[in-house]
Structure 1
Amino acid sequence: MDLSCFKAYDLRGRVPEQLNPELAEKIGRAYVDVTGARKVIVGYDIRLSSPEIAEALSAGLMAAGADVFDIGLCGTEQVYFATSHYGMDGGIMVTASHNPKDHNGMKMVGPESRPISSDNGLNDIRDRVLQPFTDAPLRGRRESLAVAAAYVDHLLGYVDVATLKPMKIVVNAGNGGAGLVIDDLEPLLPFSFIKVHHRPDGNFPNGVPNPILKENQAVTADAVVEHQAAMGIAWDGDYDRCFFFDENGRFIEGYYIVGLLADQFLRKAGGGKIIHDPRLTWNTIDLAQAAGGKAIESKTGHAFIKQRMRDEDALYGGEMSAHHYFRDFAYCDSGMIPWLLVAERLCQSGQTLSSLIDARIESYPASGEINRTIDDPRKVIAAIEAKYSIGAKSVSHVDGVSIEFDDWRFNLRMSNTEPVVRLNVESRGDIPLMNEKTEELLAEMERLNK
């Protein structure tokens, strides 16, 4: 049996070659055998194959003796929400997020929506799939569970709705599921939504729902300018990530949104801890300290960030990849809470999104993440570390290598899944220096790769 759909954090693969109803049924049985779960949330995204795979998954869960609580078509964060909110033993979301339309997958959590990944159960589930199964003495039952009202109520708890003002916002669900939540929120908010690619459609007529791709950004940017909106928001397919455009239609680097949300949260709470990834850091650290909080660095990746947030009792965690995590959301990521907080900030401050972001870009200009295919990533990273650590202020290995000087710093890390090295560079208020060092490092990587 082909089990190549099992990845480090979740399951992803082409349907039906790598993931199909037969395998999904076995995965449901294996999930129960490995975790001992008796009450499991199941939801699925808008992909054409998702209902059938979710049905087979549910059959496997029930055959193994677990009760299935079916929340139907939803986003990944609704599985996270329902699992923790209703005190379930676990949850499984059938989704392949922003992968091509002929792919599907699963994201799994345990009690309190704690992630199940390769280092805490996912590999055991994979291995269990290969063994024979017997039905449980008492088959589980299935019931539908409506979570939309409780979920929307929870979302609105993050903002002071009374302070929100009429404002035009472009929303691009990318033919994913986010449009359904916007429709639920619309009557409860004073905003006017300009809806782009709003209807869920598993055929993805407007391309793969991945706003990080340059070719997918223009439609949101153009709508913001055309309608003179205050901002634009675009989501990926299962809407656990959201991306921002300012009132000029400019796509905003996710790094600056992390700082903005950290500042917003800490000011509301009167201090506390926030978690961030090590790729770009100075802006986040600066804003956290100014708001009376403490910024703590964690290895990149949702399992690491979520665990560190629990360890530190952190209010908020953010990655520049547009994943934002919230303590009161079971330490999970949400693509809906961030834009509500940014909208609240715009309403309360009277500032434009560009003015909030421009000040931060001027203080800490950054290269954004630059990927290069490298034959031997470890060798190249080691050589660059050896060269640049001489005279450096600090060298850190939280994730890849981060090397810091007085007026600039960089992080170099390799992909877990492909021969790619990822570079991020930032400076203290010096755009020419940031550009110069970025080009210098890229040239060095190219030289070492020969």
Structure 2
Amino acid sequence: MTKLTCFKAYDIRGKLGTELNEEIAYKIGRAYGEIYQPKSVVVGCDVRLTSEDLKQATIKGLNDAGVNVLDLGMTGTEEVYFGAFHLDVQGGIEVTASHNPMDYNGMKLVRENARPISADTGLKEIQLLAESGQFKDVAVKGTSEKYNILPEFIDHLMTYIDPAKISSLKLVVNAGNGAAGHVIDAIEEKFKALNLPVEFIKIHHEADGTFPNGIPNPILVENRDSTRNAVLEHGADMGIAWDGDFDRCFLFDEKGQFIEGYYIVGLLAQAFLLKQSGEKIVHDPRLVWNTFDIVEQFNGEAIQSKSGHSFIKEKMREHNAVYGGEMSAHHYFRDFAYCDSGMIPWLLAVSVLSETQKPLSSLVEEMIDKFPCSGEINFKVANTQVTIQKIFDHFAEQNPTIDKTDGVSLDFGSWRLNVRASNTEPLLRLNIESRKDQNPKPMQAYIDELTQLIQS
């Protein structure tokens, strides 16, 4: 029995050839089919050069397990999510390595209604069966047919905006040569048909699995220049950049400034609460004060969840929350089966810009000024738990309010910190925020103090 190392906490990711290849993809498809026994599933893949072959191997595994497959072609992860809850199917698989290096690929798996499959909800069982290779033969093999989900997906996206209220805007869109381009083109066509005065300036638009402009991952500072420069050059109202499978989008204001995901959570909470007050908003515990402030201002209810998509989705289902946001640029929507989307956030931002008639910079600068934050700082440490304890001990005599929803949050009234071990890498992640009106101390002073403490 060969141990498969591509199975992670939330999905499948591995080095091509050794950790993930067509034979392993076949076994994963076969195991998924045998364990869940769905009648039909949707399968899609991103633009990586190996994704189509891995997808076909996965489909063959599903077919051999008796499962019918709708092959959605080249898609972003959320098109598979959409298919899994919108069509008469019982699950879905997207072949993608998102923002991982060139020599990687992977898969994201969901069940009926796009419910996530992670280590504690079935991924381990799939792994064990794929490792053993002890598959049962089925009497009738499944079929595979191509299905174009794009028109239905675009119609769904349009339900998040009121076309009558959209004002004249110029948008820079950077697909990073990933999978987002075809959806942008379809939205542009739809906008034209509705006579919406929105102009799209496209950069790195063509899907290209060689990634001539680097792996699309705008969370890396070095990947932001092309979007920023295009915003300034064209005098655009907003810049939007996506990662490879476009389940995360990143926004730039009209001055070309990158906006931390934390403040986008506040912006999108506002977008929903403007439409309907009293709704519940789920957030992660890393940075919270701005979210509390916005949700209170617009008569909503803030609910805290542990970070990570399976926790956020579960918490949203439990409370029937309209929206959930993480500072890592994952945004989740009740009407999207509680799944994350990289298309809905910028459409909502367009909506807020149109309704408030304020530039994006002024909408977020108010938040940034009131609640400055450090952004997430990552440290490589020998032992994350020992380091967390050291921070805990260092501040104990200041009697902070302690919250252990995810890692440790220490609240000192005028500033707070959250420190947690990464779920996916051997890293310690630190976030700090303060209340400007109560605390004139510059953010850098806190960053320096904590950095010294962690590295000593």
* Range class of TM-score, shorter chain: over 0.9
Residue in structure 2 matched with residue 175 of structure 1 by the alignment: 177
Query: What amino acid is aligned across from residue 25 of structure 1 in structure 2?
Result: Y
> Secondary structure at 1:130's aligned position in 2?
helix
Residue in structure 2 matched with residue 443 of structure 1 by the alignment: 452
Displacement after TM superposition at 1:187 (Å): 2.0
* Structure 1 contact 400–411 (Cα < 8 Å) conserved: yes
Residue in structure 2 matched with residue 105 of structure 1 by the alignment: 106
For residues 48-447 of structure 1, the aligned pairs below 5 Å read 48-131=49-132, 132-189=134-191, 190-429=197-436, 430=439, 432-447=441-456
The superposition leaves residues 264-286 of structure 1 with CA deviations (integer Å, 9 ceiling, x where unpaired) of: 11221222101001000000011
Query: What amino acid is aligned across from residue 18 of structure 1 in structure 2?
Result: E
Displacement after TM superposition at 1:433 (Å): 4.1
Which shifted more, 423-432 or 358-367?
423-432
The superposition leaves residues 133-168 of structure 1 with CA deviations (integer Å, 9 ceiling, x where unpaired) of: 233111111122221111001001001011112211
Which shifted more, 32-41 or 206-215?
32-41
The superposition leaves residues 76-95 of structure 1 with CA deviations (integer Å, 9 ceiling, x where unpaired) of: 00000010011321100000
* Structure 2 contact 325–331 (Cα < 8 Å) conserved: yes
The superposition leaves residues 168-187 of structure 1 with CA deviations (integer Å, 9 ceiling, x where unpaired) of: 10000000011110000002
After superposition, the CA RMSD in angstroms is 1.1
> Secondary structure at 1:29's aligned position in 2?
helix
- Structure 2 Cα separation of the partners of residues 431 and 168 of structure 1: 37
Displacement after TM superposition at 1:419 (Å): 2.8
Give unpaired runs (5+ residues) of structure 1: none
Displacement after TM superposition at 1:387 (Å): 2.5
* Structure 1 contact 389–403 (Cα < 8 Å) conserved: no
- Structure 2 Cα separation of the partners of residues 23 and 418 of structure 1: 23
Query: What amino acid is aligned across from residue 360 of structure 1 in structure 2?
Result: M
Query: What amino acid is aligned across from residue 59 of structure 2 in structure 1?
Result: S
Displacement after TM superposition at 1:431 (Å): 5.8
- Structure 1 Cα separation of the partners of residues 408 and 38 of structure 2: 39
Displacement after TM superposition at 1:389 (Å): 3.5
Displacement after TM superposition at 1:34 (Å): 1.5
* Structure 1 contact 389–395 (Cα < 8 Å) conserved: no
> Secondary structure at 1:317's aligned position in 2?
strand
- Structure 2 Cα separation of the partners of residues 7 and 150 of structure 1: 32
> Secondary structure at 1:442's aligned position in 2?
helix
Displacement after TM superposition at 1:12 (Å): 0.6
Query: What amino acid is aligned across from residue 436 of structure 1 in structure 2?
Result: A
The superposition leaves residues 38-65 of structure 1 with CA deviations (integer Å, 9 ceiling, x where unpaired) of: 2111011111111111101001101001
Which shifted more, 260-269 or 274-283?
260-269
State the identity as a percent.
52
- Structure 2 Cα separation of the partners of residues 85 and 367 of structure 1: 39
* Structure 2 contact 270–294 (Cα < 8 Å) conserved: yes
* Structure 2 contact 282–315 (Cα < 8 Å) conserved: yes
Displacement after TM superposition at 1:97 (Å): 0.4
- Structure 1 Cα separation of the partners of residues 269 and 88 of structure 2: 28
- Structure 1 Cα separation of the partners of residues 424 and 10 of structure 2: 12
Displaced runs of 4 or more, over 6 A: none
Displacement after TM superposition at 1:124 (Å): 0.6
> Secondary structure at 1:60's aligned position in 2?
helix
> Secondary structure at 1:320's aligned position in 2?
coil
Query: What amino acid is aligned across from residue 382 of structure 1 in structure 2?
Result: Q
- Structure 1 Cα separation of the partners of residues 283 and 24 of structure 2: 36
Residue in structure 1 matched with residue 194 of structure 2 by the alignment: none
- Structure 2 Cα separation of the partners of residues 278 and 222 of structure 1: 33
> Secondary structure at 2:4's aligned position in 1?
coil
The superposition leaves residues 303-331 of structure 1 with CA deviations (integer Å, 9 ceiling, x where unpaired) of: 00000000010000000000000000000
Displacement after TM superposition at 1:391 (Å): 3.2
> Secondary structure at 1:432's aligned position in 2?
coil
Which shifted more, 384-393 or 77-86?
384-393
Which shifted more, 219-228 or 377-386?
377-386
TM-score (structure 1 length as normaliser): 0.97
* Structure 1 contact 2–18 (Cα < 8 Å) conserved: no
The superposition leaves residues 240-277 of structure 1 with CA deviations (integer Å, 9 ceiling, x where unpaired) of: 00001100101111100001101111221222101001
> Secondary structure at 2:365's aligned position in 1?
helix
Displacement after TM superposition at 1:435 (Å): 2.5
- Structure 2 Cα separation of the partners of residues 108 and 418 of structure 1: 21
* Structure 2 contact 3–131 (Cα < 8 Å) conserved: no
Aligned length: 447
Structure 2 residue 35 is matched with structure 1 residue 34: yes
The superposition leaves residues 365-384 of structure 1 with CA deviations (integer Å, 9 ceiling, x where unpaired) of: 00000111111111110121
